[in-house]
Chain A
Amino acid sequence: MNEKSSRRKFLATVGAGVVGLVIGGAIGWLAKPEVVAEKTVTSEVTKTVTVTATVTAAPTSTVAPPTTTAPPTTTPTGLDPVAQRAVDAVKAMLASGKVKPGTTIKLLHAGGSRENWERAIELWKQYVPEVNVELVTVDIVDVRVKAMQEAVAKTGEIDGFNVMSTWIGDLVEAGAIRPIDEWFNKYDPAYTGPDAPIEPLGTYCTMYKGVRYALITDTDVFTLSYRKDLINDPKYKEEFKAQYGFELKIPDTWEETIKIGEFFTNLNLTAPGGEKLYGLYFYMEPSFAGYITWWNIFTESGGILFDPETMDPKIDTPEGKYALDVCLRMLPYMPPECLTAPWPDLYDKFVRGQTVLTAGWPSLSKEAGRPEAPVRGKYGSALMPGVEVEVSGRKEIIKAAPNPVNWVGTVSSYSRNPELMYLFYQFSTSPDIGLDMVLRGIILDLYRRSWFVDPKYRPRSAALYGEEFVDVYMKSIELSWPDLTIRGGPEYLDKLTKMLNSCYAGAYDPGVVLSDIAAEWDSITKRYGRDSQLEAWRAMIQLYPSHIKELWKAKGYMK
């Protein structure tokens, strides 16, 4: 018995010792010094965008990989200057010992862009094999959650976040991401000149309160997708003209859109799969995208979300009411699921040929163009419908395109290799590599002007998206405006989405919904501080396209 108890005692003591070591090690690891983000020089960046129509000679559009895997001692060839500068900078950092070979940087991103980023990493490895890039792939919502968690936990485990531009305000104010002006000015990612991202998007997606925090990795401007075969059908054209008194065509205005929607819905046609064909499908759903349609019409009507002097919400206005009225009038011509189904349902229905007019992200064109898509070859793309407004006694149709989401590359404030992370972004978004990356995957789309117009790149863009879409998309980007990138943007938009959706579903009085949303928005503004929000809003509205700003000035909303 004594022998047993002493053995037991021995085992207990050893076990306790092991546990103590483990706990001590864990405490030691957790208590390691925090990495403090260094302040960088911030300065307002003014850009002069020069668009040239230069047609360059057309070399091969693919990047030629080097033939050796050994670290090159001379400057690598086959890269465009933007990527070359990034690679040269990394090589210099390696040579000086600022970065050690074998360093790994981690990029947090949404699952849908994994293919895109894998392509960028594949090319990166060919030029900078000494630096590894590891992807941390999560669900879309989790990207924001984890980025904000990093703002609280400050672990430094993630070097970069590929986030929605909508989240920039939150992330900046939380201290999660750092300005990149210093490296932007030093390494020049070509945001001017023929390769520049199309403005105003290039600026409004990457800046907050006049400081640059991101490089563009994507665009998400909406375009109208329509059933070419139905709109151009002579029989329907005749019937439509007889009924409505104007030509059946791609709608220029939302009023025309409603009539076209009504016409086709009432025809009681069926889709290839036997389902009913609806004339329209625009976003009205409750969890994410429901605000887009209303905001589109509101902006084109000349509405401004907040007063630039007071930050008071200005949605319960004639423009807001008109937009709500249009949405309510469109509803009968949309599938009932538009109010409950998640956003991919819009894609699904259009691709299956169940809707005639719809609007979505560029990926809608990719999906509709798949070989197995029932609408392949039968759809076209156009600018979003506009609103006819009176400006200085003159009537004109104002068109603008929403740009919800739009993934951008940001650098964590707690990254141990922030400059390296920035250089990876610059490499990945350079004219050659960037196009390669965008064309490879699903959710990232074109942004540099040369990818639309330069014969060196355009054929590849058009091969994926279609010639018509490429032209329309470029124009749409020029007419686009930013998602709500101020702090609390997601909350403002979520409240708008939910309450509008509730109204569309008949559960909220249309007479009071906008004023109630305004009250909710005001409480959000109060929570964050009116002055701070006003500063961000004033900076944001400067980045809107000029024709919208002119409209605001004409209406007296903007000085």
Chain B
Amino acid sequence: MLASKPPRSINLLANLPLNILLYAVLIIPLIIMIYLSFTDWNPAKGYDWYQASFTGLNNFARMLEDTRFIAALSRTIMFVIVVVTAEFLIGLGIAYLLLTEFPGRRALISLIIYPLMLPWVVVGMIFYLLFQDFGPVTNVFMKAILGEAATKIHWLLNPSLGFTVIMLADIWQWTPFMFLILYSGLSAVPRKFIEAAQILGASARTIFWRVQFPLIKPLVMIALVLRALEAFKVFDAVYMITRGGPGSATETISFYIYQLAIRYYDMAYASAVSLVLLIGLAIVIRIFVKYTIEKGGA
């Protein structure tokens, strides 16, 4: 005899804590953020947020003229493309190489995923110190290659080089993440497919691109989406390595929003920028998921 379904009131009460959490942490703040993006509220103006005057699309119009916002956004998009591509390619390469069994493979895997376990503050500080003018990159490695000319390279003073360091830090820390996902996917490909292809005379390269990779494609898409979303939010590496400098030349969009909201208290504009990003990202991700994962048959 089946147990009777609990009454609806019990269902509602049981779900209540989760719903409260969802509304309190996500939905209500989102609604407030949307509201604020159409106002001029700043806590230093002396009135409460719900008393702020409606300013229409002023904040959004401001974004179009805000060169710092445009630069930060462009820089972030470039960051995502470069680091996700690099992490994917390196992670895939390492995952493929480690498919074959050899002595010490497990230990090597543990070593490979070690950066992933480090707090971002530690990673940021490591790279900050590495690339300082007194650090080993300039004084040991670059000097060995370029001689004294290496001392003229100031990694963190140059906007391009400084941003490269930030990307290197992210690639170093997050490639293991890609590796783990791709390795687990490649490991799960049934041996019979590979053996069948071998019997038919396919080369290792052909087997990889025609058998293994297509089978892990859905996993690859998920990994790329997850990593891209995380990379878009990059803040910690920027804060620790360059603090957005020199000037604001290495600011990413998250860092810029932090400056707006926390340093300048320009909450309304920060809300507008965040809203635009949220909508933009949602559209991009939806398109990506639709045309890759859904149509690809995940």
B43 in contact with A337 (CB, 8 Å): no
Q: A15-B14, A340-B245 are in contact. Are A528 and B45 (CB under 8 A)?
A: yes
A394 contacts the other chain (CB 8 A): no
A335 in contact with B133 (CB, 8 Å): yes
Closest chain A CB from B1 CB (angstroms): 5
A4 contacts the other chain (CB 8 A): yes
A9 in contact with B244 (CB, 8 Å): no
Would you list which residues of chain B between 78 and 106 have a CB under 8 Å from chain A? none
Closest chain B CB from A385 CB (angstroms): 25
Segment with Cβ contacts to A, from B154-162, B184-192, B206-214, B275-283? B154-162
B40 contacts the other chain (CB 8 A): yes
A502 in contact with B246 (CB, 8 Å): yes
A173 in contact with B243 (CB, 8 Å): no
Given the complex, which residues of A lie within 8 Å of B262, measured CB to CB? 141, 145
**B6 is contacted by which of A9, A148, A340, A506 (Cβ under 8 Å)?**
A9
Given the complex, which residues of B lie within 8 Å of A342, measured CB to CB? 243
B246 in contact with A287 (CB, 8 Å): no
Docked pose: A286 CA to B244 CA in angstroms: 8
A16 in contact with B13 (CB, 8 Å): yes
B10 in contact with A152 (CB, 8 Å): no
A507 in contact with B263 (CB, 8 Å): no
**Chief secondary structure at chain A's binding surface:** helix
Would you list which residues of chain A between 124 and 150 have a CB under 8 Å from chain B? 141, 145, 148
The digit string for A489-514, where 1 denotes a CB below 8 A from any CB of B, is 01100100011011111111000000
Q: A16-B13, A23-B20 are in contact. Are A498 and B245 (CB under 8 A)?
A: yes
**A174 is contacted by which of B13, B46, B154, B242 (Cβ under 8 Å)?**
B46
A336 in contact with B246 (CB, 8 Å): no
B1 in contact with A1 (CB, 8 Å): yes
Docked pose: A339 CA to B133 CA in angstroms: 11
A8 contacts the other chain (CB 8 A): yes
Residue from B6, B48, B248 whose CB has the most chain A CB atoms within 10 Å: B248
B134 contacts the other chain (CB 8 A): yes
Given the complex, which residues of A lie within 8 Å of B133, measured CB to CB? 335-337
B14 in contact with A16 (CB, 8 Å): yes
Docked pose: A20 CA to B2 CA in angstroms: 28
A459 contacts the other chain (CB 8 A): no
**B264 is contacted by which of A13, A336, A491 (Cβ under 8 Å)?**
A491
Given the complex, which residues of A lie within 8 Å of B42, measured CB to CB? 527-528
The digit string for A3-21, where 1 denotes a CB below 8 A from any CB of B, is 0110011001101100110
The digit string for B4-15, where 1 denotes a CB below 8 A from any CB of A, is 101001100110
Docked pose: A50 CA to B24 CA in angstroms: 57
B69 contacts the other chain (CB 8 A): no
B263 in contact with A490 (CB, 8 Å): yes
Given the complex, which residues of A lie within 8 Å of B162, measured CB to CB? 340
Docked pose: A336 CA to B162 CA in angstroms: 14
Which residue on chain A has the smallest CB distance to residue B263?
A: A494
**B45 is contacted by which of A1, A13, A19, A173 (Cβ under 8 Å)?**
A173
Docked pose: A491 CA to B244 CA in angstroms: 15
Which residue on chain B has the smallest CB distance to residue A508?
A: B247
Docked pose: A218 CA to B269 CA in angstroms: 35
A151 contacts the other chain (CB 8 A): yes
Docked pose: A12 CA to B5 CA in angstroms: 12
A286 in contact with B265 (CB, 8 Å): no
Q: A20-B13, A148-B43, A152-B43 are in contact. Are A1 and B247 (CB under 8 A)?
A: no
Q: A490-B264, A494-B263, A507-B246 are in contact. Are A1 and B3 (CB under 8 A)?
A: yes
A109 contacts the other chain (CB 8 A): no
A8 in contact with B3 (CB, 8 Å): yes
Which residue on chain B has the smallest CB distance to residue A169?
A: B44
B48 in contact with A152 (CB, 8 Å): yes
A5 in contact with B3 (CB, 8 Å): yes
Given the complex, which residues of A lie within 8 Å of B259, measured CB to CB? 494
Which residue on chain B has the smallest CB distance to residue A287?
A: B243
Which residue on chain B has the smallest CB distance to residue A20?
A: B13
Closest chain B CB from A512 CB (angstroms): 13
**A23 is contacted by which of B16, B132, B134, B247 (Cβ under 8 Å)?**
B16
Docked pose: A69 CA to B95 CA in angstroms: 70
A13 in contact with B10 (CB, 8 Å): yes
B120 contacts the other chain (CB 8 A): no
A148 in contact with B265 (CB, 8 Å): yes
- Total A-B residue pairs with C-beta atoms closer than 8 Å? 126
The digit string for B164-179, where 1 denotes a CB below 8 A from any CB of A, is 0000000000000000
Which residue on chain B has the smallest CB distance to residue A167?
A: B44
Closest chain B CB from A272 CB (angstroms): 15
Docked pose: A507 CA to B162 CA in angstroms: 12
B249 contacts the other chain (CB 8 A): yes
The digit string for B235-276, where 1 denotes a CB below 8 A from any CB of A, is 000000011111111000000000100111110000000000
Q: A16-B14, A170-B44, A528-B44 are in contact. Are A501 and B6 (CB under 8 A)?
A: no
**B245 is contacted by which of A8, A9, A335, A501 (Cβ under 8 Å)?**
A501
Q: A15-B14, A494-B264 are in contact. Are A286 and B49 (CB under 8 A)?
A: no
Docked pose: A524 CA to B257 CA in angstroms: 16
Given the complex, which residues of B lie within 8 Å of A174, measured CB to CB? 43-46
A505 in contact with B1 (CB, 8 Å): no
Which residue on chain B has the smallest CB distance to residue A27?
A: B20
**B156 is contacted by which of A169, A173, A175, A340 (Cβ under 8 Å)?**
A340
Closest chain B CB from A204 CB (angstroms): 20
Residue from B4, B44, B262, B263 whose CB has the most chain A CB atoms within 10 Å: B44
A337 in contact with B132 (CB, 8 Å): yes
The digit string for A308-340, where 1 denotes a CB below 8 A from any CB of B, is 000000000000000000000000000111011
Closest chain B CB from A103 CB (angstroms): 29
Closest chain A CB from B161 CB (angstroms): 11
Given the complex, which residues of B lie within 8 Å of A8, measured CB to CB? 3, 6
A173 in contact with B46 (CB, 8 Å): yes
The digit string for A452-468, where 1 denotes a CB below 8 A from any CB of B, is 00000000000000000
Docked pose: A339 CA to B155 CA in angstroms: 11
Closest chain B CB from A223 CB (angstroms): 26
B17 contacts the other chain (CB 8 A): yes
Closest chain A CB from B267 CB (angstroms): 9
The digit string for A421-444, where 1 denotes a CB below 8 A from any CB of B, is 000000000000000000000000
On B, residues with C-beta under 8 Å from A are 1-4, 6, 9-10, 13-14, 16-17, 20, 40, 42-46, 48-49, 132-134, 154, 156-159, 162, 242-249, 259, 262-266
